[in-house]
Amino acid sequence: MIKRKRLGQHFLNSHSIAKSIVSEAKITKNDVVFEVGTGQGILTPLLCQNAKKVISVDLDETLVKNAKSKFANIHNLELKSGDGFKKKDPFTVFVSNLPYSRSKEAIEWLAQTSFSHGVIMVQKEFADKLLAKSSKNRKAISIIATQAFDITTVSKVGKNNFSPPPKIDSVILKIVKKNNLSKDLIETINKIFSYRRKTVKNILKQFDKESIIDKRVDDLSGDEIIELANKILEK
């Protein structure tokens, strides 16, 4: 378990929660499902029941080897070892108990990737960032997520449903893809938030552009932040 803790991964051990995640994913026979974090395989066979194909990836080669042995009779399952967020496999549905240490990276990767919808489990604290309404609580990832997805809360999951138990409860979220964001746009939104105490006028100066707007980042709507990022990216 030491290695998994280092990777920020905690295994879900509740079969009823696993079933509710898969049910929420609304998988059809036309869907290719991409699962990041095979783990001990609690979700994997359930995902395979209705899917055209399931691609399940885990960083831990031992877990992938175990899953290949355990699920050898499932013919619509492809198991891979490696970094799921660096894979290029096309898919329609994304399902993952996201590693806590890589949740931000995962959302940024998903924002750049074409797919229909997904169900993710994240730390409650991270879910609060994604769903933040108050401008003071918003982070760059809040803007990226709400621009890329429609996000709804499915349910809360207590830490006692994992092994080893994390320090904080989790939340299951449904994400429906709205827009694909470019890598440049995502990087620019992150840069804007590194200047969040500056006015728009002073932020644009950093990029050799001009404005008379004296508002700060916290005074801008999400759409205005996207407009600012696009203005910075204009050649």
Query: pLDDT tens, 18-40?
Result: 999 999 999 999 999 999 999 99
Lowest mean pLDDT across 1-5, 129-133, 224-228: 1-5
At residue 3, does pLDDT exceed 50?
no
Which of 191, 37, 7 is closest to 119 using CA atoms?
37
CA atoms within 13 A on the CB side of 83: 7
What pLDDT, on the 0 to 100 scale, is given for residue 54? Answer: 98
What pLDDT, on the 0 to 100 scale, is given for residue 212? Answer: 86
At residue 7, does pLDDT exceed 70?
no
| pLDDT tens profile 169-188 | 999 999 999 999 999 999 99
Domains of the chain: 2-180 (3.40.50.150), 185-233 (no CATH)
Any residues with CB less than 8 A from the CB of 24 and at least 6 apart, and which? 119, 154, 172, 174
User: In angstroms, rounded to a whole number, what is the distance separating the alpha carbons of residues 140 and 124?
Assistant: 17
The position carrying tokens 């489990």 is 121
| pLDDT tens profile 38-54 | 999 999 999 999 999 99
Query: What pTM does this model have?
Result: 0.93
CA distances from 202 to 136, 195, 213, 223, 232 (A): 19, 9, 9, 19, 12
User: In angstroms, rounded to a whole number, what is the distance separating the alpha carbons of residues 92 and 166?
Assistant: 30
What pLDDT, on the 0 to 100 scale, is given for residue 8? Answer: 53
Which of 99, 91, 98, 141 is closest to 117 using CA atoms?
91
> In the structure encoding, which two tokens stand for residue 171, read together?
């939340």
